[in-house]
Amino acid sequence: MEPTERRVVVTGPPRHTRRTRRASGYYRPRTEIDEQTTLGHTYVRSLMRSQLRSALAAFAVLMLLVGPLPLVFAAAPDARRLKWLVLGFCLYAPLILLARWYVRRAERNERDFVRLVEDR
């Protein structure tokens, strides 16, 4: 007579299928993004739009700072010291402040996105 096989009971955390999650009415945004659904695509597009808005704002300020300089230099062709003063000293502080603002804004956008996705 052959020995009967012993039954093994496997236990673990319950696994949810896609149907049970949607049926319960709760579906995490991270799952939407991972599965590349329309809603997940919308989440990612909102992050991209906010980052683009920040970049365009920084670019506009940069153009307002640097754009008129050729006109200023053309209006005063004999002012060599003015050119060096503006290009060498006066332009760096606003550029550093602009870069700092942009990096902080981009990090805040990403932090808000992660908070949204991770349901905190």
Q: Is residue 88 part of a domain?
A: yes
Q: Is residue 2 part of a domain?
A: no
50 and 109 in contact (C-beta within 8 Å)? yes
Q: Is residue 7 part of a domain?
A: no
pLDDT of residue 65: 92
Q: Which domain holds residue 50?
A: 18-117
Among 42, 54, 44, 34, which Cα is nearest to 108's?
54
Q: Is residue 1 part of a domain?
A: no
CA distance 110 to 116: 10
Q: How many residues does the chain have?
A: 120
Q: Is residue 33 part of a domain?
A: yes
Q: Tens digit of pLDDT for each residue in 4-56?
A: 777 777 776 666 555 544 444 555 766 667 667 777 788 788 889 999 999 99
Reported as a pLDDT band with limits 50, 70 and 90, residue 106 is: very high
Q: Is residue 12 part of a domain?
A: no
Per DSSP, helices labelled H in 12-37 are: 18-24, 29-34
Q: Is residue 76 part of a domain?
A: yes
**Can you give the pTM of this predicted structure?**
0.66
pLDDT of residue 30: 67
Q: Tens digit of pLDDT for each residue in 45-104?
A: 888 999 999 999 999 999 999 999 888 888 888 888 888 888 888 899 999 999 999 999
Q: Is residue 71 part of a domain?
A: yes
Q: Is the pLDDT of residue 120 over 70?
A: no
Q: Is the pLDDT of residue 3 over 80?
A: no
pLDDT of residue 20: 46
Among 106, 87, 101, 98, which Cα is nearest to 61's?
98
Domains identified in the chain, total number: 1
